Amino acid sequence: MNLLNPKKETFEHLDEKSREIMVKTIRFFENKGKVKLKEDDRNRIWYSDFLDFIKNEKIFSTLLTPSAYGDKECRWDTARICDFNEILGFYGLHYWYTWQVSILGLGPVWMGKNEAVKKKAARLLKEGGIFAFGLSEKQHGADLYSSEMMLTQMPDGTYRADGGKYYIGNANKAAIVSVFAKDSDTGEYVFFAADSQHKNFECIKNVVSSQSYVAEFALHSYPVTENDILTKGQDAWDSALNTINVGKYNLGWASIGICTHALYEAIDHAANRRLYNKYVTDFPHIKMLFTDAYARLFAMKLFANRAADYMKSASPEDRRYLLYNPMVKMKVTTQGEEVINLLWDVIAAKGFERDMYFEMAARDIRALPKLEGTVHVNMALIIKFMANYFFNPGQFPEIPKRNDPSNDDFLFNQGATRGLGKIRFHDFNMAYNSLDLPNIGIFKTQLEALKEFLVKATPSEAQSKDIDFLLTLGELFTLVAYGQLIIENSLIHKVDNDVVDRIFDFMVRDFSKFALQLYSKPGSTSAQMEICLGMIKKPALDEERFKRVWEKYVFPLKGAYQMNE
Fold exhibited by the domain 16-129 = Butyryl-Coa Dehydrogenase, subunit A; domain 1 (1.10.540)
Beta bridge partners of residue 179, listed in sequence order: 134, 192
Quote the pTM value. Answer: 0.96
Kindly provide the b/e burial profile for residues 191-227, where b requires at least 16 CB atoms within 10 angstroms of the residue's own CB.
Answer: bbbbebeeeebbbeebeeebbbbbbbbbbeebebeee
Do residues 357 and 261 touch, judged by C-beta distance below 8 A?
A: yes
Side chain identity at 391, as an amino acid letter? F
Torsion of CA 111, 116, 120, 122, to 10 degrees: 50
Beta bridge partners of 219: 163, 201
169 contacts 135 by C-beta, under 8 angstroms: no
- Give dist(CA 65, CA 123) in Å, integer: 10
With a CB cutoff of 8 Å and minimum separation 6, the contacts of 73 are: 17, 62
Torsion of CA 332, 337, 340, 346, to 10 degrees: -120
Closest CA to 459 of 535, 380, 524: 524
List the beta bridge partners of residue 183.
Answer: 151
**In this structure, what DSSP letter does residue 214 have?**
E
Beta strand pairing call for 159-169 and 189-194: unpaired
Instruction: Tell me the C-alpha distance between 179 and 202, whole Å.
Output: 14
The pLDDT assigned to 145 comes to: 82
Residues 6+ apart with CB under 8 A from 132: 101, 102, 104, 105, 168, 169, 170, 171, 174, 176, 177, 178, 196, 215
Please give the Cα distance from 243 to 89 (Å, whole number).
21
Tens digit of each residue's pLDDT, the chain (565 residues):
899 999 999 999 999 999 999 999 999 999 999 999 999 999 999 999 999 999 999 999 999 999 999 999 999 999 999 999 999 999 999 999 999 999 999 999 999 999 999 999 999 999 999 999 999 999 888 778 888 999 999 999 999 999 999 999 999 999 999 999 999 999 999 999 999 999 999 999 999 999 999 999 999 999 999 999 999 999 999 999 999 989 988 999 999 999 999 999 999 999 999 899 899 999 999 999 999 999 999 999 999 999 999 999 999 999 999 999 999 999 999 999 999 999 999 999 999 999 999 999 999 999 998 876 667 777 778 888 999 999 999 999 999 999 999 999 999 998 877 788 889 999 999 999 999 999 999 999 999 999 999 999 999 999 988 989 999 999 999 999 999 999 999 999 999 999 999 999 999 999 999 999 999 999 999 999 999 999 999 999 999 999 999 999 999 999 999 999 9
What confidence score (pLDDT) does residue 25 get?
98
Instruction: Give the chain's radius of gyration (CA, Å).
Output: 24
Tell me what pLDDT residue 465 has. Answer: 86
Q: How many residues would you count in the chain?
A: 565
| Of 399, 417, 528, residue with least CA distance to 462 | 528
Domain ranges (residues) in the chain: 16-129, 132-233, 426-553
The CATH number of domain 132-233 is 2.40.110.10: yes
